[in-house]
Chain A
């Protein structure tokens, strides 16, 4: 029996107005990272949009996405459970820190109060004890990034999509967040696709590297 775990991209090709931006056929095992590198504007982010299920209709895409053997290609974005981290933490500004995480916890997990309690536990685990009632706007950059990571983990994702998530952090924090994100993903056994133009990200990720847009 073949191993179907992890993320499998089969003959994926994304093009804009007849011009191919990105093409790949690969497998990302659980806990491993596929790094997609390319200069800004090379279309590498469209790969994440495609996997996540929100590719703009102006692009045309072929191929299929499978996670743990299940075909995702025809699923709506919210049924794919593809957790995303962008370069901005994008905490929901109208909710306090705990509710940002509670909103991510699947609805089947108990009452509203249960979910809030789980969120507070997740905050403690991330070293953010007592942050539950805070306005997200008042957090530091590093704290926001950690909350964003907890939020995505608590949604029980099946894979992680990282869109240059470290590029806006300053150097010291960047190294710290890289270690935290990659070790967390490995511990959770999640396949990860990382899009970046920073070689150091790729080195830290330690997985396969796919380069796009070199001819540009």
Chain B
């Protein structure tokens, strides 16, 4: 009863009714649904039909399972699939283990606050740039080997080792882990405040449980329930990733998504059938990885339940805490160190193997690359800006509608928002490309913006919804009481107060757009190129100086966006202490 009343008291201060509000906001939720789910459904249909032989544009008018048979007899296909599945599951498990151990062992400590500050810049680094950075660090001729040669290793030539592109995909897993750690950490941080974790941890420790045990028994379950969809998204992403796999993944045979993109780009147009069948196989592979993940969830919960049931205090958890901290710091170090080495290469003159640093520096690579890159750079900018702008407006209108009606904050709508992140990109974007070709739609800017929007929108929504929902609704009620129309209240009161959160969400969206590889390659069809597609295309060539410039530029754009998002509100509201964070 008391709880129901408290709820009623809270909700008495929420929501506007009586036909007030914005009529435009009424359109936003259905429009958002169309943007998120439409491409998914059409894309999957566009992949599924050719997979079964139906593609009238290429003369396929009868249904057949022939292409799946061809797929099954493709050499090394089983290994490709298994590598994808395992790499995805292992990368997710490691990332989650590190952030769980870190949160358990270091919650509310100074080092925790320090890591929290590093999140935005870590997230801003595109996957491809982080992958290049890792490769430049750990390759046989990479920076780390140079640091220890020849005085420690005695080598004056790079050792003949297959570290990058290793057949076990270990390097690829490492590349995924360093980028998924900040993502999962961010999602967990957003969920933590609702869990009264401080009280829970104190309670556990007062009962004699160690930090990690208190966390595992009392905080982890509700926390995991809140971040579960994000974890699924990581599983799906890691099993179907293309750009990181192209840069770091195995070659013989490559992972399934890399083979798919080769078939999709094959000049032999009939390969589209095989590629479609493969894209459906990828859907199955990701599903299999998710099923394995559900199994891991079960086992983990059984083990925790068993330990909790036995009342195991696990007070000597120093090793777990230490390892988690070490890996957390290492992942940040790898990303930032990698970027530094990329920058170093981009300015390097002569840099022979055992030398730790280049003999001399030159801006020659930059000047020659900048001449070629202006086109892709401009494309990157406007595709990112337009898709982000649309995503921000749609998100604001959806959240406004949610505020007006009090509906839409449930698990169901959250699942819809995560849907494009959980279905493998490659399985439906390829279908969209086939549909576009079938209907004679040219690869244009509008289609590319829409393709990016499918992935930009969920991230913008996820990043803006929490600050929006926790904004005090009494400000809006005061504004209404003062006679301000809903539009004016939004423009003059709510949006300025939430400016920082809105700009941060926009920066996240822009970073997501800049980092998009697969949709850009498939929908841009080689005519619309961005910094990212150009950078990844250089992976096979191995010109480190040029790669350095591209990957560094690719990192610079999101960084600029985040710098504006932090700097601009500080400048505009420099005399407004109530808006400081």
Give a binary string over B1-20; 1 marks a CB under 8 Å from any A CB, 0 the rest: 01011101101111111111
Give a binary string over A69-81; 1 marks a CB under 8 Å from any B CB, 0 the rest: 0000011111111
Residues of chain A within 8 A of B573, CB atoms compared: 94
Q: Which of A76-109 contact B (CB under 8 A)?
A: 76-84, 86, 88, 90-96, 103-104, 106
Task: Show 11 residue pairs from A and B whose CB-CB distance is below 8 angstroms, ordered by the A residue.
Answer: A16-B4, A46-B8, A46-B12, A56-B12, A76-B480, A77-B16, A77-B481, A81-B481, A88-B474, A135-B578, A155-B483
- Distance to closest chain A CB from B338 (angstroms): 39
Instruction: Give the CA-CA distance A104 to B179 in the complex, in Å.
Output: 48
Instruction: Give the CA-CA distance A159 to B406 in the complex, in Å.
Output: 27
Instruction: Give the CA-CA distance A79 to B576 in the complex, in Å.
Output: 30
Does B577 contact A43, Cβ atoms closer than 8 Å? no
Q: Within 8 Å of chain B (Cβ to Cβ): is A128?
A: no
Q: Which of B491-534 contact A (CB under 8 A)?
A: 492-493, 496-497, 499
Does B5 contact A41, Cβ atoms closer than 8 Å? yes
Residues of chain A within 8 A of B499, CB atoms compared: 94
Name the residue on A nearest B569 (C-beta): A94
Interface 9-residue window, one of A26-34, A47-55, A113-121: A47-55
Closest 10 CB pairs of A and B: A93-B578, A76-B20, A77-B480, A137-B578, A137-B577, A155-B482, A41-B5, A56-B11, A84-B481, A94-B496
Does B480 contact A56, Cβ atoms closer than 8 Å? no
Q: Which of B522-581 contact A (CB under 8 A)?
A: 573, 575-579
Residues of chain A within 8 A of B484, CB atoms compared: 78, 103
Partner of A84, one of B477, B485, B489, B576: B477
Residues of chain A within 8 A of B8, CB atoms compared: 16, 21, 41, 43, 46, 58-59
- Distance to closest chain A CB from B483 (angstroms): 5
Tell which of B21, B478, B496, B577 has the most Cβ of chain A within 10 Å.
Answer: B478
- Distance to closest chain B CB from A122 (angstroms): 13
Residues of chain A within 8 A of B382, CB atoms compared: none
Given known contacts A55-B17, A77-B481, A78-B483, what 19 new A-B pairs fall within 8 Å (CB)? A45-B9, A52-B477, A53-B18, A56-B11, A56-B13, A57-B15, A58-B11, A76-B486, A77-B477, A78-B20, A79-B483, A81-B481, A83-B482, A88-B474, A90-B472, A91-B578, A94-B578, A104-B482, A136-B578
Give a binary string over B418-444; 1 marks a CB under 8 Å from any A CB, 0 the rest: 000000000000000000000000000
- Distance to closest chain B CB from A73 (angstroms): 8
Q: Within 8 Å of chain B (Cβ to Cβ): is A138?
A: yes
Q: Within 8 Å of chain B (Cβ to Cβ): is A151?
A: yes
Q: Within 8 Å of chain B (Cβ to Cβ): is A189?
A: no
Q: Knowing A90-B474, A92-B493, say if A155 contacts B481 (CB, 8 Å).
A: yes
Q: Which of B214-246 contact A (CB under 8 A)?
A: none
Instruction: Give the CA-CA distance A161 to B12 in the complex, in Å.
Output: 14
On B, residues with C-beta under 8 Å from A are 2, 4-6, 8-9, 11-21, 405-406, 472, 474-486, 489, 492-493, 496-497, 499, 573, 575-579
Q: Within 8 Å of chain B (Cβ to Cβ): is A40?
A: yes
Instruction: Give the CA-CA distance A17 to B492 in the complex, in Å.
Output: 36
Instruction: Give the CA-CA distance A157 to B576 in the complex, in Å.
Output: 28
Residues of chain A within 8 A of B479, CB atoms compared: 78
Instruction: Give the CA-CA distance A21 to B21 in the complex, in Å.
Output: 27
- Distance to closest chain A CB from B226 (angstroms): 23
Residues of chain B within 8 A of A49, CB atoms compared: 12-13, 477
Instruction: Give the CA-CA distance A40 to B17 in the complex, in Å.
Output: 24
Partner of A93, one of B2, B483, B579: B579
Q: Knowing A46-B12, A74-B18, say if A54 contacts B477 (CB, 8 Å).
A: yes
- Distance to closest chain A CB from B474 (angstroms): 5
Name the residue on B nearest A88 (C-beta): B474
Does B19 contact A76, Cβ atoms closer than 8 Å? yes
Instruction: Give the CA-CA distance A54 to B479 in the complex, in Å.
Output: 12
Q: Within 8 Å of chain B (Cβ to Cβ): is A181?
A: no
